[in-house]
Amino acid sequence: MKKILVYGYGNPGRQDDGLGVSCARRLKEWAEKNFPGIIDVDMNYQLNIEDAEKISHYDKVIFADASCENIHQFAYTPLKPSDAQLEFSMHAIAPAYVLYLCRTLFGKQPESHLLHIRGYEWGMEEGLTERAKENLEVSLRVMTGFLKNYLSNN
């Protein structure tokens, strides 16, 4: 059976920026009950270059993050490697760059997607806004269904 990693990132101390981490926590609980040892979950404030080695051990990787873009509730998009790293000086790197490093350094390119969940507030405060919580719930329902289907067909 294929191994999957869900990697949530963001800062829970900045309101809706914590959506990726919240998503990862909830998917971890679900995966431990339904697919133990098949779906792994990790989370952090931001992605790091060391994550390239971590993702090299998986067949599929889903990066979960908050989005301030004008999307409905969430977007689930394929991710391709990219060596464009515009945020490096800010000590934050993009998932496409982690995928690029994985391919370049380890010769692996797991099937990867980006789950962007719509957020609204980014202040220095813990806790998601009500609208962000609704978006999280919708994205979790879709993702658990998708993961069940994906694993039953692989």
Cα within 13 Å of Cα(150), Cβ side: 17
Here the CATH number for the domain that contains residue 92 is 3.40.50.1450
Q: What is the DSSP letter of 36?
A: T
Query: Which residues constitute the domain of residue 23?
Result: 4-152
Question: Using CA atoms in the order 4, 91, 85, 22, what is the torsion angle rounded to 10 degrees?
Answer: 30
Residues 137, 129: Cα–Cα separation, whole Å: 12
In the chain, DSSP assigns E strands to: 4-9, 39-44, 60-67, 74-78, 111-118
Q: How far apart are CA 107 and CA 56, in angstroms?
A: 8
Question: What's the rounded Cα separation, in Å, for the pair 128 and 12?
Answer: 8
| Rounded Cα gap, residues 80 and 57, in angstroms | 17
Task: Give pLDDT, residue 119.
Answer: 97
The whole-model pTM stands at 0.94
pLDDT at 86 (0 to 100) = 52
List the chain pLDDT tens, one digit each, 154 residues.
789 999 999 999 999 999 999 999 999 999 999 999 999 999 999 999 999 999 999 999 999 999 999 899 999 999 999 987 655 444 578 999 999 999 999 999 999 999 999 999 999 999 999 999 999 999 999 999 999 999 988 8
Domain count, the chain: 1
Residues with Cβ within 8 Å of 135's Cβ and at least 6 positions away in sequence, in order, are 19, 73, 74, 117, 118, 119
